Amino acid sequence: MDAGVTKLLYDVHHQTTFAWLISIYFYFTGLSAGSFVVSTMSYGFGMKMYKPISRIAVITATMCLMIAPIALLMQVGWPIRSIWNHFAYLNFHSPMTYGAFLLVGYPVVCIFYALYMFRDNARMTKLLGSIGIPTAIATHGYTGFILAFGKARAYWNTALMPTLFLVSAIVSGLALMVLIVMIIFRFIKQERRVPADIVEGLAKILAWAIVVDLFLTFCDIAVLSISHEGAQEMAWLVLGGGFTPLFVGVENLIGKVLPMIVCFVPALRRNHLALAIACALVVIGIFFMRYVTVFGGQVLPLM
């Protein structure tokens, strides 16, 4: 609306609902789901070359999942009451209800999966891995549904949101795993040598995951920019408004395009310092993806 014609004199705005803490929560569940996918590569999908990093990956997945609910409980007004009420009063129309069960069930699966993996019980590991993959995907996918069900916000209310969240979870999990594997094999393990085939193999998968992520982001923004008025305002906000530095710059250019080039070009991929920096950028970029989606999606006033 033209500011010269009408002027707002008085209005009430209460508060922005979801901010940093929910972004952190989504980010860590994403990292956890991505790491879990990496850990099941050797047992579930038969990629035997990734066997040495399965244990590192499952520990990372479990650790990330321990941080995530802390941020969630700091966000809600009544943490103890929320733990009880989520199971006592069920509303099966709400994605958050399913989330409560997943956030309790997924760590249990994770811990038993890790237990059997450390005991070298291949059969049970494979069984729990095949249970764990859908659980991990659901635990992160439901967060996309939470946002998609917030139908007042044009940026959230899209059927693409769960898929977008899942793909970015896999991207961030893969990047974190490359980074952690490099650090552990370079500085902590006895051989002091980074396993080149594992790291570069993960980098190749990471590159293709980033391609899918960029494609989905493009679809989302492209449809948003020709949709109804609120959606167009939102598209303008991320493409040419207040959130452009974070969305275009940090999230997509530094966080996706640059690492994608590093992961695709063989000469750069073999330079492990460049690969480590690229993966660190991905991990940072996906955090800002969560932040822009959660916080940026609701800064525009509706009334």
Partner 1 sequence: MDERKVRWGFLIDLRKCIGCQTCEVTCKMENGVHLGVWRSWVKKVEKGAYPRTTRGFLPLLCNNCEKPICVTVCPVNANQQRPDGIVTFNPHRCVGCRYCMASCPYEVRYLHPLKRIVEKCNWCHHRIDAGLRPACVEACPTGARVFGNLMDPDSEIRRLMAQHHVSVLQPEMGTQPQVYYIDYDEEVFATKRPFRWKWR
Count of residues interacting with partner 1 (CB under 8 A)? 53
35, 37, 42, 86: which one binds partner 1 (CB under 8 A): 86
Tokens of 157: 């209310």
DSSP state of 78: -
Contact between 85 and partner 1 by CB under 8 A: the answer reads: yes
Give the shortest CB-128-to-partner 1 separation in angstroms.
28
Three-state DSSP state, 43: helix
Contact between 190 and partner 1 by CB under 8 A: the answer reads: no
Stretch that binds partner 1, among 9-17, 104-112, 118-126, 181-189 (CB under 8 A): 9-17
16, 223, 257, 270: which one binds partner 1 (CB under 8 A): 16
Query: What are the φ and ψ backbone dihedral angles of 2, each rounded to 5 degrees?
Result: -70, 125
Give the shortest CB-278-to-partner 1 separation in angstroms.
26
For residues 219, 239, 249, 275, the Cα torsion angle rounded to the nearest 10 degrees is: 10
- CA 48 – CA 44 distance, rounded (Å): 10
Give the shortest CB-3-to-partner 1 separation in angstroms.
8
> In terms of CB distance, is 86 or 140 closer to partner 1?
86
Task: Report the length, in residues, of the chain.
Answer: 303
Binding string, residues 120-159; x marks residues near partner 1 by CB under 8 A: --------------------------x--xxxxx------
Exposed e or buried b per residue across 5-43, where buried means at least 16 C-beta atoms within 10 angstroms of its C-beta: eeeeeeeeeeeeebeebbbbbbbbbbbbbbbbbbbbbbb
* CA dist 241 → 10, 74, 78, 153, 233 (Å): 24, 30, 36, 17, 9
Exposed e or buried b per residue across 165-179, where buried means at least 16 C-beta atoms within 10 angstroms of its C-beta: bbbbbbbbbbbbbbb
Stretch that binds partner 1, among 45-53, 95-103, 124-132, 275-283 (CB under 8 A): 95-103
- CA 50 – CA 38 distance, rounded (Å): 8
51, 55, 81, 204: which one binds partner 1 (CB under 8 A): 81
Stretch that binds partner 1, among 18-26, 42-50, 109-117, 160-168 (CB under 8 A): 18-26
Stretch that binds partner 1, among 2-10, 42-50, 204-212, 278-286 (CB under 8 A): 2-10
17, 111, 118, 223: which one binds partner 1 (CB under 8 A): 17
Contact between 50 and partner 1 by CB under 8 A: the answer reads: no
Scan residues 211-270 and list those touching partner 1 (CB under 8 A).
228, 237, 241-242
Give the shortest CB-158-to-partner 1 separation in angstroms.
14
Per the listing, tokens 């690492």 go with: 259
- CA 30 – CA 136 distance, rounded (Å): 9
- CA 301 – CA 303 distance, rounded (Å): 6
Give the shortest CB-14-to-partner 1 separation in angstroms.
4
Residues that bind partner 1 (CB under 8 A): 1, 4-20, 75-78, 81-82, 85-86, 88-91, 93-97, 99-100, 146, 149-153, 228, 237, 241-242, 298-303
